[in-house]
């Protein structure tokens, strides 16, 4: 690109052009990496809704959780599709997606269920199984678990021991 016969100013201009080009490419690369939300890495709303649907389908009939009479009664009263809708919106929003969660707060919607720490652990085990079944990578699994963990203090009302 730069030849012996080239005017030095032209050579400088070429160097400046190449450098600024690579800086732009570098800046764009950085921005692209920053913009890749967990929502995008999970593949967006369609795969998120499938994983949430499977998760709720696994939770609803679970014998360990339904040994708690308050949970069992709520399962009979509250339609699974309603929970799927709300939890999908919640996960979509929490992972940086375009949805808005319009359901109740976690404390308000779970307080009457008397959820223990051991029931919480059971739910986390099922959640991990569902993520593994769908091939969610380790990094994204950890980030989803951190989101779920952030709600534990509002949902678990007793230390358990059950
Ligand atoms: C052991 C753990 C959990 C159990 C047994 C459980 C069970 C339930 C049940 C039975 C309901 C219906 C309550 C009712 O309306 O009477 C409910 C509501 C709901 N749960 Fe959970 N849940 C658990 C953890 C979570 C977690 C970790 C999340 C999300 C981070 C979540 C999100 C929701 C949402 C969005 C609703 C609906 C709120 C509304 O009605 O506006 N739950 N849950």
Q: What is the pLDDT of residue 8?
A: 54
1.10.10.10, 1.10.3210.10, 1.10.490.10, 3.40.50.300: CATH of 38-155: 1.10.490.10
Quick one: what percent of the chain has pLDDT higher than 90? 75
Q: Residue 113 contacts by C-beta under 8 Å, 6 or more apart in sequence?
A: 68, 70, 71, 74, 157
Q: Residue 6's CB: how many other CB atoms inside 10 A?
A: 13
Ligand 1 pocket, mutate which of 125, 155, 157, 159 (most atoms under 8 A from CB):
155
Minimum mean pLDDT range among 30-39, 71-80, 110-119, 147-156: 30-39
pLDDT at 107 over 70: yes
Q: What is the pLDDT of residue 22?
A: 42
Rounded to the nearest angstrom, the distance between the alpha carbon of 33 and the centre of ligand 1 is 33
Burial of 64 (0-12, 13-18, 19+ CB in 10 A): middle
Q: Which atom of ligand 1 is nearest to the CA of 89?
A: 35
Rounded to the nearest angstrom, the distance between the alpha carbon of 55 and the centre of ligand 1 is 12
Q: What is the pLDDT of residue 158?
A: 75
Burial of 80 (0-12, 13-18, 19+ CB in 10 A): middle
Number of H helices, E strands in the chain: 10, 0
CA distance 60 to 76: 9
Q: What is the pTM of this model?
A: 0.83
CA distance 161 to 150: 21
Q: What is the pLDDT of residue 19?
A: 41
Q: What is the pLDDT of residue 10?
A: 53
For residue 68, the SS3 value is coil
Our measurement of the distance from residue 23's CA atom to the centroid of its chain's CA atoms, rounded to an integer in Å, reads 32
Q: Which atom of ligand 1 is nearest to the CA of 104?
A: 41
* Per-residue pLDDT tens digits for 11-57: 444 444 444 444 444 444 555 556 799 999 999 999 999 999 999 99
Q: Which atom of ligand 1 is nearest to the CA of 87?
A: 35
Q: Residue 141 contacts by C-beta under 8 Å, 6 or more apart in sequence?
A: 128, 131, 132
Rounded to the nearest angstrom, the distance between the alpha carbon of 105 and the centre of ligand 1 is 10
- Split at pLDDT 50, 70, 90, the class of 112 is very high
CA angle 129, 131, 135 (to 5 degrees): 115
Rounded to the nearest angstrom, the distance between the alpha carbon of 109 and the centre of ligand 1 is 6
Question: Where do the structural domains in the chain lie, given as residue ranges?
Answer: 1-35, 38-155
């Amino acid at each position: 690109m730069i030849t012996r016969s080239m005017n030095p100013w032209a050579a400088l201009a070429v160097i400046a052009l190449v450098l600024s080009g690579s800086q732009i490419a570098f800046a764009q690369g950085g921005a692209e990496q920053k913009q890749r939300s967990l929502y995008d890495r999970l593949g967006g709303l369609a795969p998120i809704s499938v994983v949430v649907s499977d998760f709720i389908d696994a939770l609803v009939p679970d014998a360990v959780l339904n040994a708690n009479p308050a949970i069992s009664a709520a399962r009979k009263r509250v339609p699974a599709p309603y929970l799927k809708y709300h939890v999908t919106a919640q996960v979509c929003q929490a992972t940086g997606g375009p949805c808005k969660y319009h359901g109740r707060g976690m404390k308000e919607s779970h307080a009457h269920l008397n959820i223990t720490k051991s029931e919480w652990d059971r739910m986390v085990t099922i959640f991990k199984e569902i993520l593994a079944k769908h091939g969610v990578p380790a990094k994204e699994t950890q980030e989803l678990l951190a989101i779920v963990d952030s709600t534990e203090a509002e949902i678990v009302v007793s230390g358990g021991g059950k």
